[in-house]
Amino acid sequence: MRRSPYKICLKKQIDVAKFTSDIITQQLSKNKNSVLGLATGSTPEQTYRELVKRHLPHQKDWSHVRTINLDEYVGLDKNNPQSYHYYMHFHLFNHVGLPECNTFLPDGTSSDPISEGQAYEQRIIDLGGIDLWLIGIGSNGHIAFNEPGSSRDSRTRLVNLSDQTIIDNSRFFEKKTTVPTQAITVGIATIMEAKRIILIATGKKKSKAIYAALKGPVGPDCPASFLREHPNCTFVVDEAAAILCRNNFV
């Protein structure tokens, strides 16, 4: 038996999406009251499309599932098409019959981000913890919006986005100057408490971050490297993302 993190390399992005949606579907079959941690961004879009496809013919029951998202931009309300609230409804929630009251994201418009962060942590505890957290990775190795330099003990909080993240995410906005510069994000400690973590990465632009996460030192320079200390974490990547450390993957 290989040790966590388990490393799986598949040919293409669509294979990563199918594999990952199978894992999530299995989780829901095992426990229809599952608490899923979810991510936004380009990478999970195809996974969500696959989940919606699997939901349609079998009417997989999502009515008892609860979801917790990684993060939300500061200053964007939930009706803003660039907000992560909007993204999640657009790509997943609206298509699988997930009751609105079962879905949770940080409130990026909160006037009191400290209380918002504490309440979010408490919410996760009240839900009984996260059964499976699907996460992505930034080109600089961030997980959620825990940018390089973030502490292993970090919890849900207000953060400044790094220049690299602002540049990377400007593709979702009209121009770079309209990208929010802050977010409310769960912390590394919050993610590490999930029972199971699936990190997905696709494309060559993620290859350096995947290399640093798996082969570099474990520490705040590459926040994703902390996942090597999690007992049940799987990296699922495509060949392009694995290119710098292909031998580490099955």
Q: Which residues are catalytic?
A: 71, 140, 142, 147
**Full strand arrangement of the beta sheet holding 233-238:** 6-10, 233-238, 196-201, 132-135, 35-38, 66-69, 103-104
Binding mask 10-39 for ligand F6R (x = CB under 6 A): -----------------------------x
147 forms part of the interface with ligand F6R (CB under 6 A)? no
Contacts of ligand F6R in 152-211 (CB under 6 A)? none
Q: Using the 8-state DSSP alphabet, how is residue 157 labeled?
A: E
Burial letters 69-106, b for 16+ CB under 10 A, else e: bbbbbbebeeeeeebbbbbbbebbbebbebeeebbbbb
Measured CA to CA in angstroms, residue 11 lies from 17, 109, 203 at distances of: 11, 40, 11
Q: How far apart are alpha carbons 191 and 50 in whole angstroms?
A: 24
| Pick 27 or 165: Cβ nearer ligand F6R | 165
Q: How far apart are alpha carbons 223 and 165 in whole angstroms?
A: 14
Contacts of ligand F6R in 125-144 (CB under 6 A)? 136-138, 142-144
**How deeply is 112 buried, as exposed, middle or buried, from its count of CB atoms within 10 A (0-12, 13-18, 19+)?**
exposed
Q: With CB under 6 A, what is the number of residues at the site for ligand F6R?
A: 14
Binding mask 90-129 for ligand F6R (x = CB under 6 A): ----------------------------------------
* 5, 37, 41, 180: which one binds ligand F6R (CB under 6 A): 41
* 28, 65, 70, 233: which one binds ligand F6R (CB under 6 A): 70
Q: How far is the CB of 142 from ligand F6R (least distance, A)?
A: 5
| Three-state secondary structure call for residue 201 | strand
43 forms part of the interface with ligand F6R (CB under 6 A)? yes
What the block records as the tokens of 69 is: 């998202």
Q: How far is the CB of 38 from ligand F6R (least distance, A)?
A: 8
Q: How far apart are alpha carbons 99 and 63 in whole angstroms?
A: 6
Q: How far is the CB of 28 from ligand F6R (least distance, A)?
A: 21
| Pick 37 or 66: Cβ nearer ligand F6R | 37
| Pick 52 or 60: Cβ nearer ligand F6R | 52
* 4, 25, 42, 80: which one binds ligand F6R (CB under 6 A): 42
223 forms part of the interface with ligand F6R (CB under 6 A)? no
Q: Please, which residues bridge with residue 200 across strands? A: 236
Q: Please, which residues bridge with residue 36 across strands? A: 67, 132
Q: How far is the CB of 40 from ligand F6R (least distance, A)?
A: 4
186 in Cβ contact with 144 (< 8 Å): yes
Binding site for ligand F6R (CB under 6 A): 39-43, 70-71, 136-138, 142-145
